[in-house]
Amino acid sequence: TVVNMEGDVKFGVANWAGPLFSVSGKGITFNGNGHTFDGQGPSYWDGQGGNGGVTKPHPMMKIKISGTYSNVKVLNSPAHTYSISNPAKLVMSKLTIDNSAGDAPNNQSGGKAAGHNTDGFDVSTTDLTIEDSTIRNQDDCIAINKGSNIIFQRNSCTGGHGISIGSISTGATVQNVQILNNQIINNDQALRIKTKADATSASVSGITFSGNTATGTKKFGVIVDQGYPTTLGAPGNGVKIS
């Protein structure tokens, strides 16, 4: 099955759980042809993201296909951009996520960046490749919370919280992840493994970071944090990293 976008999509504004767009199926070729899904983030942004303030539809985009998904631009997601739960192998490529307008404060955000929790990709899946894409946001470029056989390569991440394994919760397993040849620009941290302090019966293994370049990093180039949600707090011992 082939899906071709033939124009831009601008969503209306409503305070509900979302998602704004969902696609599911097996063996799908989804080609955005360079067109844009506009989530109208500035109509929601208040510096609080999913932690409070107005209800924001998130994730904006829920992808539940196998096959390919390419050449799609997402502009101004209200909060999290992509949630991915592919039923079989999926390659996502040549994507743009542009939440850079959320870097500036607005009259609701108390002097902070108006965009918040604008994660690029939230991943809890298997057999996924994300490549050759550009992400500008205010949170994790990608957060891999559980899953295996995941490749994230040749991407550019600007302005957010970097590339993250986790946060890892009780019972979660992450294994065989390759983070390759990415550019991480002006992020709080570049490469991070974060596990929750109270997590038990969880593991992280077979993680490869290779060929990545970070510039303008504000806090940590590489951090392994086992006390999440605090940073450099008392670590838990319920997540094995190997």
Q: Which residues does the annotation mark as catalytic?
A: 161
Runs of H (alpha helix) within the chain? none
Dist CA 78 CA 55 (whole Å): 9
Beta partners for 83? 62, 122
How far is the C-alpha of 220 from the C-alpha of 188, rounded, in Å? 7
Angle among Cα 137, 163, 190 to the nearest 5 degrees reads 90
Cβ atoms of 162 and 190 closer than 8 Å: yes
Distance of CA 222 to the CA centre of its chain: 18
d(C-alpha 114, C-alpha 41), whole Å:
9
CB 65 within 8 A of CB 30: yes
Buried/exposed code over 79-93 (b: 16+ C-beta within 10 A; e: otherwise): bbbbbbbbbeebbbb
